[in-house]
Amino acid sequence: MKKNQLDTPSLLIDREIMMDNIERMQSYANKYGVTLRPHTKTHKMPALAKLQVDAGAKGITVAKVGEAEVMAENGLNDIFIANEIVGEVKLNRIKKLAETIDISFGVDSIEQCETIEKVFSDSQKQAQVLIEIEVGENRSGVIEESDYIRIVEYIKNCSHVNLKGIFSHDGHTYKAKDLEECRELYNAAQKRTLHFAHLAQELGCPLETVSIGSTPPLMHDFGVMEGVTELRIGTYILMDVSQGNAIGTYDRCAASVLTTVISKPTSERVITDVGAKGITMQSRSQGICATTGLGYIKNYGVHIDQVYDEHAIIYNEEFRNQVTVGEKLEIIPNHICPVCNLYDHAYLVSGDEVVEEVPILCRGKLQ
């Protein structure tokens, strides 16, 4: 089948670009002697996760327990949940997974650890946890050294919880005003993460894993500091408009949404059949990843101006005169991660040929 024979909207993935992205990032990790643990929340597809592992990734990262369960069911056996896992229901699910795979997850409070110790008290395996360190994104993670020390000391005295390592996410690099600031933020985040690793060492708790990562700085050769053991990144495999803006090209954007022109009601307005339910309404307002509009139309150099639930609107007279009702276009999304979660399957394409239909098995696994 040719890709233009697909019904719309459809999620497309250029196989060659994707494989090149996988190989490039694996080579980057190999260059610096660290392991790669891709964050699969970007694509939510076990089939793509297996490609990343086959290329050399040590294991994978997920965001939710439900994603971990699906990935495990499909043969992935080394999984880190890069999130604080709270509550006995979820912890019991992790305990069940730990019977058959290597699984670890995030913590940032003693309250969590108290519940983990209780839930895993009847398990043959200790819970494997990593403490999250806040490095500037202003999200979750330990901020104060005193809090970190208390958590480390608490875990040291646990019988059923093992401190495997620490992790951080320098997501604030997306908002860097230029590449030099991106480098500075990335380096500061590494230094802060390593400082907490050294604190653990001083407390008699050496760490197996010191995990960092976000896509923008790792698309440039900013290096990896000694002491970091793992890169944990996601968007690089498919890329999107925001990441393309950060590197100055959309040539490495593997994913797009195929859509059909359904109306040209005025001399400048074009409407296609995908809206917020197929490309989201996401945009980025500042920094190297800042976006224009709500999606980029490949080969035409125009952006989507407005979306409704099921409609994308472009206001551009020249573009309106170039396309016809019924014509199919490709949109590069601003942010690919939530877009993948909107589709039941993606189509791998090579040139104009559809070569495989890939189920998005982790779609909707939010618990």
pLDDT of residue 16: 98
pLDDT of residue 77: 98
Q: Where are the domains of the chain?
A: 3-10+242-359, 15-236
Structure tokens at 307: 């979306």
102-107 β-sheet, strand order: 35-36, 230-231, 209-212, 161-168, 127-133, 102-107, 78-84, 60-62
pLDDT of residue 296: 98
* pLDDT (tens digit per residue) in 292-340: 999 999 999 999 999 999 999 999 999 999 999 999 999 999 999 999 9
* pLDDT (tens digit per residue) in 16-41: 999 999 999 999 999 999 999 999 99
pLDDT of residue 37: 98
CA distance 185 to 122: 43
The H-assigned helical ranges of the chain are 15-31, 46-54, 65-73, 88-97, 110-119, 145-156, 179-202, 215-218, 241-247, 276-279, 317-322, 336-340
Average pLDDT, the chain: 98
Model pTM greater than 0.85?
A: yes
Identify whether the C-beta of residue 279 lies closer than 8 Å to the C-beta of residue 309.
no
CATH architecture type of domain 3-10+242-359: Beta Barrel (2.40)
52 Ramachandran zone, left/alpha/beta (phi>0; psi -120 to 50): alpha
Q: ω into residue 9 within 30 of 0, thus cis?
A: yes
pLDDT of residue 22: 98
* pLDDT (tens digit per residue) in 248-289: 999 999 999 999 999 999 999 999 999 999 999 999 999 999
Read off the pLDDT band of 201 (50, 70, 90). Answer: very high
pLDDT of residue 367: 97
pLDDT of residue 150: 98
The highest-level CATH class for domain 15-236 is alpha beta
pLDDT of residue 261: 98
* pLDDT (tens digit per residue) in 100-139: 999 999 999 999 999 999 999 999 999 999 999 999 999 9
CA distance 288 to 174: 6
Cα torsion through 52, 50, 228, 66, rounded to 10: 130
